[in-house]
Structure 1
Amino acid sequence: MEYHNLGSTGTKVSELCFGTWRFGKESGDTVETDRDEAHELLDAAWEHGINFIDTANVYGTPHGTSEEYIGEWLDDHDRSDFVLASKVYFPFDGWGEPGPNDSGLGRKHVREQIEGTLDRLGTDYLDVYYIHRWDDETPIEETLDTLDTLVSEGKVNYLGASTMAAWQLTKALWKSEVNGFERFDVTQPLFHAAYRDDVADYLDVCADQELAVCPYSPLAGGFLTGKYEKQGGEVVGPEGSRADMDERFENYYVSERGWHVLDEIRAVAEELDATPAQVSLRWLIEQEALSCTPIVGARTTDQLEENVGATAIELSTEQRERIDDARYAEEGRRYGH
C-alpha cells in the first residue's frame, strides 16, 4: 500500500479509504454488517495498510452504530495510526423525534453532533469533518465560523464537503477566504468511471483549488464490479446484491452510458488479468488532475482484498482513454443515463 498527501494537506492517507456506511445498517430484517463482521473488516483493512476510515453520525440502525463499532475497535489500536472522517447534517435519531434544531448546519446542531461523534468514536479529535450536504436554511458564514472554531479547539484537523453543486463549493471557499475561516480541504462527491461528466464543474473546482477528492460509490453501487447483466431488459445480479436490497439501484446507478463503460472496463480487466472492480478503482486512483482516494465499502474480507488489488495494477494511457471514450457514441453524443 502506498500513501499520498490528502489533497494539499500534510496528512498522508492510503490509496483507498475504507467506508463504513453498512456497519449496523438494517435492510428489512437483515443487518448488513454486524459488530463482529465490522471488526473483522476493520482488521482486514488495517492489515492491508488502509489507514483512512470514513463514517458518519447517521450510519447504522440506530444512527451512531457505525461510529460505535469503530470506536470499540479503536480501543485495541493506536488512534494516531488512523485518519478518521465523519459527517454532520442529517437528523440524528438517537434522541427520538427530531426537533427543529436537530438537523442542518446551524451552530447548535453542529456543536451537539461533534460531541456525540467524538464520544462514540472514543477519540478527542477527527481528522476530517464533512458537511454531509449543503444547508439552504443556514448562512454558510455561520457554518464555516462554527467549523473554524472546532479546528481552533483541536476537535477537527481538516474540513470536508460532501455532495453539493460546484457553485456552492466555490461560494464556501470564497467565504472562507474573505472571512479568514478554515476552508474545505477534502470533498466527497459521487464520482465513478460512468459518472464523470455529470460532476465535471465540481471536479474542476477541486483541481484548481487542490482539494482532495474522496469519491463515494466509486463502483456505482457494485454495478462496475461486473456482477450484473442485462436479461430481457432487466438488470440481474447475485442474490443479496444491492439490486435486491435497494429499490433505487437501477435508477441511481444503471444507465446506457454505464453499460458501455462497463464493457470497456471488462476488456481492460481481461488485458491486465484483473477484475472490473480493480480497474474501476484504479481509474480513479490515477486521476491526473486530482488527488483522488476512492472510498470502498466491502461487505466481506474477500471483497476488500479484491478492492485492495487495485493498488497493485497500473493502467496505460491508452486504456484510460478507452474507458473515458466509452461514455460517448461514435458521433460524439454522450450516452444517457
Structure 2
Amino acid sequence: MEYVTLGNTGTKVSQLCLGTWRFGREADSGEVETTKREAHRLLDRAWEQGVNFVDTANVYGTPSGTSEEWIGDWIADYDREDFVLASKVYGSMGEGPNDSGLSRKHIRRQIDGTLDRLGTDYLDVYYIHRWDDETPIAETLDTLTNLVEEGKVNYLGASTMAAWKLTKALWTADVEDHARFDVTQPMFHAAAGEDVADYLDVCADQDLAVCPYSPLAGGFLTGKYERDDSGGVTGPEGSRADLDDQFADYYVSERGWQVLDEIRDVADELDRTPAQVALRWLIEREAFTCTPIVGARTTDQLDENVGATEFSLSDNQRTRIDDARTGAGDTDD
C-alpha cells in the first residue's frame, strides 16, 4: 500500500479509505447489513492490507452511533496513532429541535458523543455532513475552529454541497480567520455527470483533498450490470438494482454505459476487474489528491478494491475513459 499526503495537510493516508456506513445498519427487511463480527473482520483485513484511513459518521448504524461504537471497540486493541479517523456532524441524532444541523449547540454535543463512542480524544478529520441553510456558516466555522484549537479535531472537512457554498465557506474562513476545510467528500465516480465539475474545480484550485463516496456508482461500475431489452438495467439477484427502484435514475445514464464499456475494455487489457480500473482512475486524478471511500460488504470485495493500488493506467487508457465521459470519441453516422 502506498500513502499520499491528504491535500494541503501534513497527514499521510492510504490510497483507499474504508467506509463504514453499513456497519450496524438495519435494512428495510430488518436484517443488519454488516454485523459487528463482519465489521471487525473488515477492519482487520483493511489494516492487514495497509489501509489506515477509516471513515464513519455519527448517524451511521441502527441506532445512530452504532458504527462509531463498533470502530471504537475494535481500535481499542490497536495503537490509535496508527490510524486516521474521520467522522461527520449534521444529521438528526434525536427528536429535539437542536438535535440536528450545524449550530454551535449541536456540534458541541455531537463531537463529545463521537469521541466517546470511538474511544479517542481527537478526530483526524471532522466533516460537516451537509450544508445547514438555517445556521450562519460563520457560527459553524467558529465552533469548528474552537474544536481544532482545543485539540479535539485536527482537520476540517466538507461533504456534499454546491460549489458556491464550499467557496463561501472557504472565503468566510479566510476573512474571519477561522480554520479552513482541508478535505472534501462529494459523490464522484468515473460515470458521474458534470454537476460535480465546479465543486472539483474549487478543490483543485484550493488544494483540497477529495475523498469521494460511491466511487463505484453504487456498484454500477463493477461491471455486474447489463442493459435489458427495454433499455433499463438488470443485475444479479439481491443487487442494488434488483432491490432499489431508484438505482437506475441515480446511477445509470448513457454516459455511464459508455464509461463502463471503456472501463471493461481497459480491465481486459490489464487483467484487472472493472471495479479496480474505476477506482484506479480516481486514485490517479492529477488535479487533487483523490482517496476513494470503499464500502465493501465482504473481505473478498475489500481485497478486490485494494487491488486498485497495485497497478497503473497508461496515459492512453486514462484518456479513453476521460473521452467516454465527455463523449469526445463519439461520431455521427
- For the criterion TM > 0.5, the same-fold answer is yes
- The aligned counterpart of 2:163 is 166
- The aligned counterpart of 2:17 is 17
CA contact under 8 A between 2:213 and 2:293: conserved in structure 1? yes
Secondary structure of the equivalent of 1:130?
strand
Against the structure 1 CA distance between its residues 252 and 183, is the aligned structure 2 distance closer, same or farther, given a 3 Å change threshold?
same
Deviation at 1:216, TM superposition (A): 0.3
1:171-220 C-alpha deviation (Å, 9 max, x unpaired): 10010001110000000001100115221111111011100000000000
1:225-252 C-alpha deviation (Å, 9 max, x unpaired): 0011112233221222222333321111
> In structure 1, what residue type is equivalent to 2:17?
C
- The aligned counterpart of 2:306 is 308
CA distance in 1, matches of 2:243, 2:65: 22
- The aligned counterpart of 1:77 is 78
Deviation at 1:255, TM superposition (A): 1.2
CA contact under 8 A between 2:14 and 2:52: conserved in structure 1? yes
- The aligned counterpart of 2:34 is 33
Secondary structure of the equivalent of 1:33?
coil
Against the structure 1 CA distance between its residues 332 and 165, is the aligned structure 2 distance closer, same or farther, given a 3 Å change threshold?
farther
> In structure 2, what residue type is equivalent to 1:2?
E
* TM-score in terms of structure 1 length: 0.95
CA distance in 1, matches of 2:176, 2:229: 57
Against the structure 1 CA distance between its residues 52 and 125, is the aligned structure 2 distance closer, same or farther, given a 3 Å change threshold?
same
Structure 1: 5+ residue runs without aligned partners?
A: none
CA distance in 2, matches of 1:90, 1:40: 27
CA distance in 2, matches of 1:263, 1:226: 9
Partner residue of 2:254 out of 247, 253, 256: 256
Deviation at 1:332, TM superposition (A): 6.6
- The aligned counterpart of 1:241 is 239
CA distance in 2, matches of 1:223, 1:49: 26
> In structure 1, what residue type is equivalent to 2:76?
D
Q: How does 1:275-294 map to 2 (within 5 A)?
A: 275-294=273-292
Secondary structure of the equivalent of 1:87?
strand
Deviation at 1:289, TM superposition (A): 0.7
* TM-score in terms of structure 2 length: 0.96
- The aligned counterpart of 2:51 is 50
Q: How does 1:143-292 map to 2 (within 5 A)?
A: 143-195=140-192, 197-233=194-230, 234-292=232-290
CA distance in 1, matches of 2:51, 2:293: 11
Provide the alpha-carbon RMSD of the alignment: 1.3
Partner residue of 1:124 out of 121, 124, 127: 121
Identity of matched residues, %: 75
CA distance in 1, matches of 2:127, 2:193: 22
CA contact under 8 A between 2:323 and 2:329: conserved in structure 1? no
For this pair of structures, how many residues does the alignment match?
A: 329
1:55-113 C-alpha deviation (Å, 9 max, x unpaired): 000011111111111001011111100000000011014xxxx1111111000001111
Secondary structure of the equivalent of 2:325?
coil
